[in-house]
C-alpha cells in the first residue's frame, strides 16, 4: 500500500472562510475540554490517598475509568445535546480531534516528555476529514462535507490508480490563506531504490550550504537575514498598534505573510537543490546531523535559517520519488580525518583548509569532509552487502519525470585550484 500527501491551495468565499474559522475554534474547544478531563483524572491519582490535598487536587471516584479515546468519542453525542453548536461541525472531524489528543498522549508516554498543552486562540490550525465515499475533487473544485464546493488550485493532477483517503484543511497566515493536504493511496508497492551507479557524498555547512565529494559546492542563501530588515520594520509597526484592534490585526497579518514567504523560498531552494543532486548521481550519502543540537549553539540563527533538517528530509523524499539511493552516515570526525590516507588531522572550526602532514593532501575543509562522507557511505553499503543489487523502482507518479528544466543543470559553482579561505 502506497500513501502520499499532495498539498493544494484553496480559495473559499467569505461565508465558507467564516465557517472554517468557526470549525477550528469548535475543534479547539473540544480538544481543550478532552485534555482537561485527562489532566483531572491524572491529578486525582498521582499521589497516595492519605497524602492527597483536598484543596488543590480534583476528587474523582476511584472506580472512574481512564478517559480513553473511545470513552471520550462516545461522549460526543451527549455533548452535542448540551452544546448544540457542536452539531454544526462534521461528526468525524470532532472524532479525529479527540484522536489527535490521544496520539499526542501516547507519544508523550513513549518519549517521557512533551505533555499535551492547551491550545490558545488561533493555535489550532487544522482539522481532518478522515474518509470519503467518492472522490471529492471534481475539476478545479473540492467538495468538503457541510462546507460545500471550494475552488482549488489543482497544480498537479491525482495520478491514475490512486484514490483520495482523507483531506486535512490547513489555515496559514492568521487565517488568510487556506490549504488542503490530500492523502492519496494505491495498492501498488514501490521497492526501495538499490545502490547503483555513481555515488557522491555531501557535507552541509554555513560557509557553503552544500559541498559534494567531487568538489562542487552550493552557496548558502540567507533567506531570513536578507528579509530581516523589512521584517523588523513590519514588527515595529505592529508593536505600535493597539493590541486587539483592526489595525493591529492587519499589521500581524503582514508579519505572518513575510514569515510565510521566507519559509516558501527556503523550501523551494531545498527542493531544487535536491533535484539537482539526483540529476548528478544515482547514489547519495549525507551526514546524520544532530539538528536539535545545532539550533542551541551560538550559530543557532544561521542554522535555523539554513534548515538542515528540512533539507535532509526533502532530499530523502525526492530520492525515493526518483529512484535514487539515499543513506545517512555517522558525522563524527568527518572534518578531522584525511580522506586520502585516513590519518587524523585535528583542526579548529576557524581553520577552513585541510592540509595533511602525512600525505600532503591540501583541499578545502568542507571538500575533505564530503569525501569522508562518501568513504563511510561506501563502507556501509559494502558491509551490508547492498552493492550491486538492482531492482525496478520507478513508478509513474506526477512530478517524477517533469524535471527537464533541471536536467543537467548541476551545481554551478566549482572549485578550481586552491580553495578560497
Reported as a single tens digit per residue, the pLDDT across 73-120 is 999 999 999 999 999 999 999 999 999 999 999 999 999 889 999 999
Grid cell listed for 4: 502520499
Report how far residue 26's alpha carbon sits from residue 34's, in angstroms, rounded to the nearest whole number: 12
Q: Strands 141-144, 137-138: parallel, antiparallel or unpaired by DSSP? A: antiparallel
Question: What would the grid cell of residue 133 be?
Answer: 465515499
pLDDT tens-digit series, residues 140-194: 999 999 999 999 999 999 988 899 999 999 999 999 999 999 999 998 888 888 8
Closest to 168 (Cα-Cα) out of 184, 154, 187? 184
Helix (H, G, I), strand (E, B) or coil at 124: coil
Q: Which grid cell sits at 29?
A: 474547544
Closest by CA to 198, choosing from 325, 64, 101, is 325
Q: Which three cell numbers stand for residue 397?
A: 507518479
Q: In what order do the strands lie in the sheet with 137-138?
A: 126-129, 163-172, 177-186, 2-10, 148-153, 141-144, 137-138
Q: 303-337 pLDDT, tens per residue?
A: 999 999 999 999 999 999 999 999 999 988 888 88
Predicted confidence at residue 391, as pLDDT, reads 37
Cβ neighbours for 64, distance < 8 A, ≥ 6 positions apart: 41
SS3 content of the chain, % helix, strand, coil (to 5): 40, 20, 40
Measured CA to CA, the distance from residue 421 to residue 357 in angstroms comes to: 19
Of the candidates 207, 151, 159, 215, the residue with the CA atom closest to the CA atom of residue 179: 151
In contact, 162 and 186? CB cutoff 8 Å: yes
pTM of the model: 0.83
Amino acid at each position: 500500500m502506497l500513501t502520499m500527501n499532495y498539498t493544494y491551495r484553496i480559495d473559499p468565499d467569505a461565508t465558507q472562510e467564516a465557517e472554517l474559522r468557526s470549525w477550528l475554534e469548535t475543534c479547539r474547544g473540544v480538544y481543550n475540554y478532552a485534555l482537561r478531563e485527562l489532566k483531572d483524572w491524572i491529578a486525582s491519582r498521582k499521589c497516595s490517598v492519605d497524602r492527597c490535598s483536598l484543596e488543590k487536587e480534583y476528587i474523582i471516584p476511584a472506580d472512574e475509568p481512564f478517559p480513553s479515546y473511545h470513552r471520550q468519542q462516545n461522549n460526543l453525542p451527549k455533548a452535542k445535546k448540551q452544546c448544540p453548536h457542536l452539531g454544526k461541525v462534521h461528526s468525524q472531524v470532532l472524532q479525529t480531534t479527540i484522536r489527535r489528543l490521544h496520539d499526542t498522549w501516547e507519544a508523550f508516554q513513549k518519549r517521557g516528555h512533551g505533555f499535551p498543552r492547551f491550545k490558545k486562540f488561533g493555535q489550532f490550525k487544522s482539522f481532518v476529514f478522515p474518509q470519503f465515499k467518492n472522490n471529492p475533487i471534481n475539476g478545479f473544485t473540492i467538495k468538503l462535507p457541510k462546507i460545500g464546493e471550494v475552488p482549488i488550485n489543482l497544480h498537479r493532477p491525482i495520478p491514475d490508480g490512486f484514490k483520495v483517503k482523507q483531506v486535512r484543511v490547513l489555515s496559514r497566515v492568521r487565517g488568510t490563506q487556506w490549504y488542503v493536504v490530500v492523502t492519496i493511496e494505491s495498492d501498488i508497492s514501490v521497492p526501495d531504490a538499490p545502490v547503483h551507479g555513481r555515488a557522491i557524498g555531501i557535507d552541509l555547512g554555513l560557509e557553503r550550504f552544500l559541498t559534494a565529494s567531487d568538489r562542487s559546492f552550493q552557496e548558502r542563501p540567507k533567506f531570513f537575514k536578507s528579509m530581516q530588515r523589512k521584517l523588523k520594520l513590519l514588527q515595529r509597526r505592529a508593536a505600535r498598534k493597539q493590541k486587539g484592534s483592526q489595525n493591529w490585526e492587519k499589521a500581524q497579518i503582514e508579519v505572518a505573510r513575510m514569515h510565510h514567504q521566507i519559509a516558501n523560498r527556503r523550501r523551494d531552494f531545498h527542493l531544487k537543490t535536491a533535484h539537482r543532486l539526483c540529476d548528478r548521481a544515482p547514489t547519495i550519502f549525507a551526514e546524520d546531523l544532530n539538528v536539535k543540537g545545532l539550533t542551541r549553539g551560538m550559530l543557532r540563527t544561521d542554522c535555523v535559517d539554513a534548515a538542515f533538517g528540512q533539507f535532509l528530509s526533502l532530499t530523502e523524499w525526492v530520492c525515493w520519488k526518483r529512484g535514487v539511493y539515499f543513506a545517512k552516515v555517522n558525522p563524527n570526525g568527518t572534518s578531522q580525518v584525511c580522506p586520502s590516507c585516513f590519518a587524523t588531522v585535528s583542526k579548529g572550526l576557524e581553520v577552513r583548509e585541510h592540509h595533511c602532514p602525512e600525505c600532503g593532501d591540501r583541499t578545502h575543509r568542507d571538500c575533505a569532509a564530503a569525501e569522508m562522507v562518501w568513504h563511510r557511505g561506501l563502507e556501509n553499503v559494502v558491509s551490508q552487502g547492498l552493492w550491486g543489487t538492482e531492482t525496478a523502482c520507478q513508478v509513474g507518479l506526477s512530478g517524477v519525470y517533469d524535471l527537464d528544466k533541471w536536467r543537467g543543470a548541476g551545481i554551478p559553482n566549482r572549485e578550481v585550484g586552491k580553495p578560497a579561505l
